[in-house]
Amino acid sequence: MWLATSAAGPSCDYPRGIAGGAEEFSVPTPLSSIDLPTSPIIKLLNAAATTGDGPVFNLEFPQLAAAAQAEIAGAPIQAVINLMGLLDGSTWDTLCVLDTSQGYVSGEISPITFPAPIRQIKGNIAALTGGTNPSVSLYFTARG
């Protein structure tokens, strides 16, 4: 099987076929021209002011890639926000960590690639310290 590569390394496998004794490569349609289902923007955390889990959201169809954005108010010294996904119905996996002590800036959009199709999602605040009445809102959208 032929393996396409980019500067970032291997990207995908392309099938190849034999026609008339010569090898021909089949090039897939670029993702930008395929109409993939997109989830609406989901507000996973709504001005949450304490640590812990937000509500669980069921996704309409399995998701493969997404983006998250946190709005952090009250100038906390540290905010650690986790985006968590569920595949098997019992074990939550941390898919993305937005940590102000590691350089995350309120309002940045962070792209996420999932390790497997995700069916449920939730936000979690692991730390929220300092500042004046700090709070976090977390937004999420995905593509299947």
pLDDT at 68 over 80: yes
pLDDT, mean of residues 114-128: 91
pLDDT at 61 over 80: no
Average pLDDT, the chain: 79
Residue 115 is predicted with a pLDDT of 78
Please state, in angstroms and rounded to a whole number, the distance separating the CA atoms of residues 28 and 73. 44
Query: How much is the pTM?
Result: 0.73
CA 28 to chain centroid: 24
Residue 109 is predicted with a pLDDT of 95
**Out of 20-29, 115-124, 128-137, which region has the weakest mean confidence (pLDDT)?**
20-29
Contact of 113 with 12, CB cutoff 8 Å: no
Instruction: Give me the domains of the chain, ranges plus CATH numbers.
Output: 2-32 (no CATH), 35-143 (2.60.120.510)
When pLDDT is cut at 50, 70 and 90, the band that residue 38 belongs to is low
**Out of 15-19, 39-43, 75-79, which region has the weakest mean confidence (pLDDT)?**
15-19
Q: What b-and-e string marks burial along 59-95, b requiring 16 or more CB atoms within 10 Å of the CB?
A: beeebbebbbbbebbeebeebbbbbbbbbeeeebeeb
